[in-house]
């Protein structure tokens, strides 16, 4: 299963689902909903955290959290 961390910089993807239900509640509040387009925008030095663009704004999250967001292949 592909997740957000496997996207290349500036690559787009469509959210398919989540692997962690507690975290998904918070992520969905922030606009990361199944079916929504995201793109990987920034990778911090040392590879973590990341910033994605979703719902027209930038959201930063840790690699571990980002890996819980699954992307349609």
Partner 1 sequence: MAKNFDLKIALVGNPNSGKTTLFNLLTGLNQRTGNFPGVTVDKKSGKMKLPDGRLAELIDLPGTYSIYPKTLDEQVVQDVLLNPKHPQHPDAVIVVADASNLKRNLLFFTQIRDLNLPCVLALNMIDVADRRKLQINLRSLTIDLGVKILPTNSRSGAGIELLKQALTEELPRPKKAFYPVRPLAEQTIDHIKEGFDLSEDYRAYQYAQQNKRLSFLSDLEKEEIEQIKKKNGFYDVPTQSQETIGRYALISDIIDRNIKTAIEGSSSLSKKIDQITTHKVFGYLIFALILLVIFQAIFAWAEWPMNLIENTMAELTAVTKSLLPQGVFNDLITDGVLAGLAGVVVFIPQIALLFGFIALLEESGYMSRAVFLMDRVMRSFGLNGKSVVPMVSGMACAIPAIMATRNIENWKDRLITIFVTPFMSCSARLPVYTLLIALVVPKVDVFGFINLQGLVLAALYLLGILAALVSAWVLKIILKTDLKGYFIMELPSYKVPKLKNVGLTIYEKSLTFVVEAGKVIIAISILLWVLASYGAGEDFENAEAIVTQKMADGSMGEDYEVALSAYKLEHSFAGTFGKFIEPAIRPLGYDWKIGIALITSFAAREVFVGTISTIYSIGASEDDELTIKERLSEEKNPWTGGKMYTPALGYSLMVFYAFAMQCMSTLAVVYRETKGWKWPIIQTIYMSAFAYLAAWLTYTLFS
Using CB under 8 A as the criterion, which residues of the chain lie in contact with partner 1 when the complex forms?
21-31, 33-34, 41-42, 44-49, 51, 53, 55-62, 65
**Residue 39 C-beta: closest distance to partner 1, Å:** 8
6 vs 49, beta carbon nearer partner 1: 49
**Residue 50 C-beta: closest distance to partner 1, Å:** 9
What ranges in 1-73 are assigned the alpha helix state H? 21-29, 63-66
Distances (CA, A) of 16 to 20, 38, 39, 45, 46: 13, 11, 14, 28, 27
């Amino acid at each position: 299963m592909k997740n957000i961390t496997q996207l290349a910089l500036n690559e787009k993807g469509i959210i398919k689902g989540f692997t962690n239900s507690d975290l998904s509640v918070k992520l969905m509040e922030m606009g990361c909903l199944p079916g929504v387009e995201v793109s990987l925008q920034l990778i911090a030095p040392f590879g973590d955290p990341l910033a994605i663009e979703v719902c027209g704004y930038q959201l930063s999250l840790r690699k571990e959290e980002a890996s819980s967001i699954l992307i349609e292949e």
